[in-house]
Every structure is written in C-alpha cells, then in structure tokens.
Amino acid sequence: MRATAGDSHELAYGFKDPKSSPFSKSTYLDNYVDLINNEWGRQLGKELAGKYNINQNTDWTPKLLTSYLNDIQTYLSNSNPDHVFTEFREDDEFIIKTVNKLNEITSTKDE
C-alpha cells in the first residue's frame, strides 16, 4: 500500500506498534482500517475517473458531478444496504457551488 496525503494522519497519529504507542489498541486498529478505506477510496476514484473520462483538464458540469457522486452513493449502499442515501440533483445548490469551485481550482492550476 502506497502512502498518500490521505494516509498522513493515520501514519502520524496512531498507525504505530500498539505496544510502544501512547495511543490505545482501538486507535491503532481504527487507523489501520482508515488506511484500508483510503485505498478502497482511491480505487473507486480511479474506476469513476475512467468511467467519466475525468482528468486534470476536466470541465466539471452539474450533470457530471451529480452522476459521479450518485455512483459513489450507490457503491456505499451496496456495501451497507441498510443505509439509504438521497440522490444528488443537478440543480442542488451544493452541486452548483462545488462545480464552480472545482472549475476555479482546475483553471488556475497551470498559471
């Protein structure tokens, strides 16, 4: 497993030998599970990037972000069928603001 920014918290605060760590055994186990979840999240992100042809130059639209987030929720629902999610809609204020922010971030990356 490759460490990334998503793993830095777990590696710095608890993913240590539980015998020599000031953290509890449960903290050690929680951080280990977090590392595994981070890896699954990266894999899901890669799959969705391929499905939607997302790359660093993607021009995000409400339709694209809505589809992307609803796919994530479908994935999570399949792993926990008792949890019910409300689907995102293209006209959700959250979607519109997030699309604007994503496009703002990606448009300034090459400057």
User: How far, in Å, CA of 77 to CA of 69, rounded?
Assistant: 12
Could you read off the pLDDT of 56-78 as tens digits, one per residue?
899 999 999 999 999 999 998 98
Structure tokens, 26? 């449960």
Q: What is the pLDDT of residue 1?
A: 44
Could you read off the pLDDT of 4-29 as tens digits, one per residue?
656 665 556 555 555 555 556 667 77
Of the pLDDT bands very low, low, confident and very high (cuts 50, 70, 90), residue 83 is: confident
pTM higher than the cut 0.75: no
Residues 6 or more apart from 90 whose CB is under 8 A from it? 62, 63, 66
In eight-state DSSP terms, residue 98 is H
